Amino acid sequence: RKRIFSGMQPSGLITLGNYLGALKNWTNLQDDYDCLYCIVDEHAITVRQDPAKLRKQARDLLTQYLAVGIDPKKNIIYYQSHVSQHAELAWILNCFTYMGELNRMTQFKDKAAKHADNINAGLFTYPVLMAADILLYQTDLVPVGEDQRQHLEITRDIAVRFNSIYGDTFKVPEAYIGKVGARIMALQDPTKKMSKSDENKNNTIALMDEPAVIMNKVKRAVTDSDNEVRFDESKPGISNLLGIYCACTGKTIAEAEKEFDGVGYGVFKTAVGEAVVANLEPIQQKVKDLEKNKDYLDEIIKDGAQRAGRLAERTLTKVQKRVGFPPKI
């Protein structure tokens, strides 16, 4: 069976963007692939985090993975920091990645602009750790949102480079980016992506937002004045809501445009809000049930780290040998 790897940072409350762009696809793929779904806490500390909060967010992310339907029996779910091979391979791959390549990463540029007081080396080499995550498991497919496309490209470049120097070592992975939902935009500023670190909470719908809050945020979303529900580059607000609606309902854009032909934005927004609530409400209920079950969550994490560690060690040992490290006796 082919293998999937993906991850999410425990750097805040996860959003509708994370859900529609990634998590929803993860659950759909779990029956056909061997999947590892990681909580990438090592990536999260590239920006300053409060330790107690980070710990809680990592745990919350675990319960959210499970609540959306990722099955811990079918998949390997674990914390990145529990599998030391990620950091070890990242170091080696750092030596096969050029400053110039990393300098071109748009996420680095965005984050450096946003955190000008903390442009640390980890933030710069973030994509190399991400490449290590993926390449450690001989991954075939990486389901992510559109914003990770460039990181997948550099991962492939690093793999190809290493393979060409040392012979076939890594599988060269492909990105899996959904047709709908791969780029959910901020509600108050639909020209930028919805992001869990956004300070304006009206820009984001959190996975755990109450139904009334969701309805309100959707109703207040920025649109335009021509009152036509149509997918069009010049209508980023309406196009974003259409994308959300379709990703939540499984309908196509053409079907949705027809459904809301001539009805005006009020009716449309209500339908969008209701579609989001219909997706998120059952998940929220499951999160509340899971939170009560501490032993169950602990067991998943322990088991996940062991299973991931065994797989990771195979690739790491091979890589260490290829680059010329003396064998352990």
Contact positions vs ligand TYM (CB under 6 A): 5-9, 17-18, 21-22, 40, 43, 130, 133-134, 142, 144-145, 147-148, 151, 182-184, 193-194
- Look at residue 3 and give its three-state secondary structure: strand
Question: Least distance from C-beta 157 to ligand TYM, angstroms?
Answer: 15
In the bound state with ligand TYM, the residue whose beta carbon lies nearer, of 17 and 273, is 17
Question: Least distance from C-beta 185 to ligand TYM, angstroms?
Answer: 7
Identify the active-site residue in 53, 73, 111, 328.
111
In the bound state with ligand TYM, the residue whose beta carbon lies nearer, of 137 and 265, is 137
Question: Least distance from C-beta 136 to ligand TYM, angstroms?
Answer: 10
In the bound state with ligand TYM, the residue whose beta carbon lies nearer, of 71 and 174, is 174
- Look at residue 163 and give its three-state secondary structure: helix
Query: Cα(236)–Cα(241) distance, rounded to whole angstroms?
Result: 9
In the bound state with ligand TYM, the residue whose beta carbon lies nearer, of 194 and 297, is 194
C-alpha dist (Å) from residue 200 to 30, 35, 151, 188, 275: 34, 34, 26, 9, 23
Q: Is 196 a catalytic residue?
A: yes
Q: What residue number has its CB nearest to ligand TYM?
A: 21
Q: Is 111 a catalytic residue?
A: yes
For the chain, the 3-state helix, strand and coil shares in percent, each to the nearest 5, are: 55, 10, 35
Question: Least distance from C-beta 68 to ligand TYM, angstroms?
Answer: 12
Q: Are 158 and 128 in contact (CB under 8 A)?
A: yes
The end-to-end CA distance of the chain, in Å, is 34
Q: Are 80 and 38 in contact (CB under 8 A)?
A: yes
**Catalytic residue IDs:** 111, 193, 196
